[in-house]
Chains A and B, each alone.
Chain A
Amino acid sequence: MRSTVAALLRKELLVELRTLESVPGMSLFAVTTFVVFHFALNRSTVEGDLGAGILWVTLLFAAILGINRLFVADAEEGGFDGFLLAPVERTAMLVAKALTLLAYLVVLELVAIPAFALLLLGPPLGHALPGLIGVLALGDLGVAVIGTLVAALAVRTRARDLLGPLLGLPLFVPIVIGGARATSPLLTGAHNAAPAARWLLTLGLYDLVFGLIAYALFDFLLED
């Protein structure tokens, strides 16, 4: 399965590099949203719970832009059929798509986190960065798996642009809650701040559960 995942992943990244349809849009959306919050809240800095909430909600909505486009090239250009005709494990597509989305999220956060720190965040981020990277990694994993599942379900319907977010948002709520609660202590400026362990554990368990659900369901989503 490894070589199939590698072939699919390579194709995904090549198509994105040529079209730049997802990642630039996601990044621009996140930065613009931080600017909007900056003016809408009528305050120059945020911290703690408010900062964590703004950060996670913005990242989630930016991720949805990428999720909506995740299978579009396959559906419109016959890539699904090409893949289904090959004697390969269907799960390879789940893994490749989730890794693609994970890569998109990492690039998004490389742009969005410095923009957030610059435009909105009060306390300096430096000492909290290792903890934040850990929380983001767990959150990204869940968003990537659930996003892939939801995108695969939505892309075969006529209302895919609507159905993706409608199906996905309720499933993403626990990730936003867990991510924001785990991030909140990191954005207070305290020097010994660490992410809350129980929320990290919650995120990890949620990722594991949805990883198993996606593994069990994905084949059926690709079938006629």
Chain B
Amino acid sequence: MAALEVEGLARHYGEREALRDVSLSLAEGQTLVVFGPNGAGKTTLLRVLATLLRPHAGRVSVLGSSLPDEAWAVRGRVGLLGHEPLLYRELTAQENLRFHARLHRVGEERVAQLLDAVAMGGRAREPLRTLSRGMVQRVAVARAVLHEPELLLLDEPHSNLDPAAVELVAPLIGRSSRRTRVICSHDPAGMLAEADLVLGLRAGRPALVAAAAEVDPEEIAELYR
């Protein structure tokens, strides 16, 4: 069964087109990696799939539910890790995760388990504003997978993470998590190996949609020229 079905998706902000004619299909458990220069529409695509933005044209189905009409059925099954950590700076890592756990009706033991998994157990009671950006990103990873989402939407997930932290979060958001994933990235060398399907965006339009095995890295480099 397809986890994602997108056909002719368009989205604009006022007069400016952010996405146009985007079509793709992604099977359950597979990974779509989206490449494209800044402003190409990658984040907009993630936000549409997360139900945070409405599609203005086309057909979008996420985990079998049609957007925007059945968005309520998708919420709680999707984990979003974006540019913003979606965490409150004045609250501690533990308080932030407990807050999201209550919203998603997840038990306290999962919070403790995830804080240990991202090696934040020792600093779980310090306000986020006192932590480094890498540490906040680790807490954000824990927040994104707190409710065991079926679909992970990851916008440059390794930003601010050092190589050790990238290893640390791999079981949660990496290929080994066995989740369906959509990853936005500027790192073809690192991310092409993670991909089953590649989407290249340029000015909101798909310049490349292909199985990862068939993609020449030069085609991705071309997107940025």
Contact = CB atoms under 8 A, between A and B. Distances in A.
Contact of A86 (B75, B82, B127): B75
Nearest to B99: A11
Interface stretch (B24-32, B50-58, B111-119, B168-176): B50-58
B interface bracket (residues with beta carbon within 8 Å of A): 20 to 34
A81 B102 contact: no
A73 B100 CA distance: 16
B88 A73 contact: yes
A128 B32 CA distance: 68
Interface residues of A, number: 24
Nearest to A77: B88
Contacts of A79: 86, 88
B188 interface: no
B80 interface: yes
Contact of B103 (A7, A73, A78): A7
Contact of A83 (B54, B95, B103): B103
Contacts of A224: 52-54
Contacts of A73: 88, 90
Interface of B: 50-54, 72, 75-76, 78, 80, 82, 84-91, 95, 99-100, 102-105, 127, 143
15 contacts: A3-B102, A10-B99, A14-B90, A73-B88, A81-B80, A81-B84, A82-B87, A82-B100, A84-B75, A85-B50, A85-B52, A85-B80, A86-B75, A87-B75, A224-B54
